[in-house]
Amino acid sequence: MAGKQKPGKLRPMEITFLRHGRSEANEAGIWQGSRQGGRLTERGERQAAAAATRLLKNPPNLVVTSGLHRTNQTAAPLGLTVDTDPAWAEMDLGEWDGLTSSEIAEQHGDELKAVFAGQDIPMGRTGESVFVVRDRLAAALNALESRLDEGERALVITHGGIIETLARMHWKIEAPRPAFADPVNTSMTTFRHVFDKLRLATYNDTGHLGTINEWASQRMAEGDPLITFVRHGETDANLQRLVQGQTDWGLNAQGRAQAAKLAKWYGTQETVYASPLGRAAQTAAEIAMDGVTEMDEFAELSFGSWEGKTFDDLLTDGGNSVLADRIFRQGEDLPRGGDGETWGGLTERMNRGVDMAMAANGSGRITVVSHGGAIRAYVLGIMGVGWPEVLDTIVPANTAVTHVVMTTDGPILADYAVAAHLE
């Protein structure tokens, strides 16, 4: 999903993809593709109003809809000028449009299985294939990027299948059933253009509707455990852009304020685990109902001798630059600083920690307060995204919340890097 970086760009531009509010077809369990019919339900209108209130705190420079009724209705509460681009319309489902899942399975079972198996065939015989949609979206994304300048932000009001396809393209996931949840109504997924390409910053964020999105809430109601991952609050090392690793920095005043805002928004939690490093333990104490269990497995990646340096130092400082170049530019997963950890080692450690915490709590809900790299290693690892592809996903903001549902089919990412309490 690379794009062109404009000369002299000082601040990253952003593109947020907003799924439309709940529609009549969503309510009826009907597959609705690119046809024009259908409107939002009363619930969908409330969702759209809540999304608008949040977005208008920092209005986008450009708003684009697919032109279908349900996206135009979702845009209406913004009260902003809206462009229409049919390139962002939902995929053409052909003969499946207007049918329920059970009807499609009964009438077109073999074709449906072929689509889910990743075969390049049109939806509903006469519709688009996933590969055609990917080409359409790649072209639309490049065209949209070319319209944005330094620091500008675009909002694209589109559809669940479109956002899911963008996420698959971004994470390079070819498996028919990826380990992330489908975008829910009025969820926001944001990409930020940094270091010459679009990188994912948030996924499936419905912070304007509550702390846990609808899909995760439904799975919890059905008995699936939920893990809440929280990144620690800000430290002075974050401000100075230093490599912290396992060096024990505490929260600064801003970090303590962030942790307090998190507790007010998210509420205190009964079972809280944390990295033993001060910045995580301090953040955990703000949201823990009855104490914190510290576990070494949830500590940040060890950068060894690189800790305390900036990444600019690593890329320009004598012998460090050779190793840093091999790791960050050539993509080799080598021990950081020569004596630290590899990304693969961090991922294995985080997996071990999650397994231990879940075993201690059975089917209960737990919260893990950890670090940007460690959280990213776990949640991307469950989707098969490793080094160096993880760099295409931005580290969660300080005190951002990420949810993973532990299903019988394995862990599934419900959302990523939600920080509505800081807006």
Alpha-carbon distance of 311 to 43, in angstroms, equals: 47
Eight-state DSSP code of residue 89? S
Structural domains in the chain, CATH included, are 14-205 (3.40.50.1240), 214-302+341-422 (3.40.50.1240)
Please state, rounded to an integer, the average pLDDT across all residues of the chain.
93
- Looking at residues 322-345, what average pLDDT do you find? 96
Structural contact between residues 315 and 255, judged by C-beta atoms closer than 8 angstroms: no
User: Does pLDDT of 133 surpass 50?
Assistant: yes
138-169, pLDDT tens digit by residue? 999 999 999 999 889 999 999 999 999 999 99
Contacts of 380 (CB under 8 A, 6+ apart): 171, 386, 389, 390, 393
Contacts of 110 (CB under 8 A, 6+ apart): none
Structural contact between residues 19 and 158, judged by C-beta atoms closer than 8 angstroms: yes
Count CB neighbours of 139 within 10 A.
Answer: 11
Report pTM. Answer: 0.94
Three-class SS state of 232:
coil
Q: How many CA atoms lie within 13 A of 151 on its CB side?
A: 5
Alpha-carbon distance of 84 to 193, in angstroms, equals: 23
pLDDT for 362: 75
User: Does pLDDT of 119 surpass 90?
Assistant: no
Eight-state DSSP code of residue 421? G
219-247, pLDDT tens digit by residue? 999 999 999 999 999 999 999 999 999 99
- Looking at residues 164-186, what average pLDDT do you find? 91
pLDDT band at 318 (very low <50, low <70, confident <90, very high): confident
Alpha-carbon distance of 366 to 292, in angstroms, equals: 11
Dihedral of CA 273/274/275/277: which sign? negative
Q: Which amino acid would we find at residue 254?
A: Q
56-100, pLDDT tens digit by residue? 999 999 999 999 999 999 999 999 999 999 999 999 999 999 898
User: Does pLDDT of 22 surpass 90?
Assistant: yes
**To 10 degrees, the CA torsion angle through 104, 105, 107, 110?**
120
User: Does pLDDT of 423 surpass 80?
Assistant: yes
Chain centroid to CA 191 = 9
- Residue of higher predicted confidence among 20 and 119: 20
pLDDT for 117: 78
Three-class SS state of 129:
coil
pLDDT band at 11 (very low <50, low <70, confident <90, very high): low
Three-class SS state of 155:
strand
pLDDT for 8: 42
pLDDT for 6: 41
pLDDT band at 38 (very low <50, low <70, confident <90, very high): confident
DSSP per-residue string spanning 36-70: S---B-HHHHHHHHHHHHHHTTS--SEEEE-SSHH
